[in-house]
Amino acid sequence: MIVARGLSKRFGRIQALEGVDLDIAAGEIVCLLGPSGSGKSTLLRCINHLERPDAGAVWIDGDLIGFTREGDRLLERDDRSIARQRRRCGMVFQRFNLWPHLTALQNITEGPIRVLATPRETAEREARALLARVGLAGREGASPAQLSGGQQQRVAIARALAMNPDVLLFDEPTSALDPELVAEVLHVMRDLAATGMTMVVVTHELGFAREVAHRAVFMDAGRIVEAGAASDMLTHPTHPRTQAFIQAVMG
């Protein structure tokens, strides 16, 4: 489903990614692990072209993302074409990014109505079903300010699902939440994983990664240091840097 080859990205003097290769199969759940600044979020944002890589390329289901190829050259697509491609990836951000002036229902229906030209009645019916799916039936009329952080993040997940994506990308979806709210978001993510949705998750929740992910990928200094079956790698990491990180996180 996702193929990344030779991805590199620099921000000033910081080499955020350096020659990253990654393959993710359809229906696979992959957790990206590593310290802050290791390149996890940059890799996620390059997958859907929220960040333009300096080198390398990404394909989603065989479709070259963000570029067209002319001979040996890659030319960046126009914004409208990139936006169409980006629909294939639902993105769930760390800080929810809900529209504060819209209700939970309106946050979910805005994309389908405006981007997919879904009839309002259909969009609202599907949005209500999605809110029920994430445990928020009855909160359709609530504004983001009336919802807890965990509830806002569940609305954000429903909003991503409303666009019928091929892939869901999660950028540290629980790191902005109080500890008691983390479980409700992880519960929704576990349910999604059970449906066979392709998911790429940047997270520090090692228990979630061990339980749900097919593979774990550990990054450091912009490179993939170690990757393997999540349960094996998180229990018996082989690289010293991975060992030190897991020991530090687990305390």
33 pLDDT more than 70: yes
123 pLDDT more than 90: yes
List, in sequence order, every residue forming a beta bridge with 74; answer none if it has no partner: 69
Is residue 53 within 8 A of residue 129, CB to CB? The reply is no
Question: Which pLDDT score, from 0 to 100, does residue 179 have?
Answer: 84
pLDDT, tens only, 197-207: 999 999 988 98
Question: Which pLDDT score, from 0 to 100, does residue 41 have?
Answer: 95
pLDDT, tens only, 57-98: 999 999 999 999 888 888 999 998 998 898 889 999 988 889
CA 93 to chain centroid: 7
Residue 110 sits at the vertex; the CA angle it makes with 109 and 114, to the nearest 5 degrees, is: 115
Give a three-class secondary structure readout of 182-208. HHHHHHHHHHHHHCCCEEEEECCCHHH
39 pLDDT more than 80: yes
CA 142 to chain centroid: 25
Average pLDDT of span 223-248: 94
Q: Where would I find the H helices in 148-239?
A: 149-161, 179-194, 206-212, 230-235
pLDDT, tens only, 14-24: 999 999 999 99
Average pLDDT of span 182-191: 91
141 pLDDT more than 70: yes
Q: How would residue 251 be classed by pLDDT, with cut points 50, 70 and 90?
A: low
Question: Which two tokens mark 65?
Answer: 């993302």
* Calpha distance 232→216 (Å, rounded): 9
Question: Which pLDDT score, from 0 to 100, does residue 119 have?
Answer: 97
Q: Which helix (H) or strand (E) holds 83?
A: helix 79-86
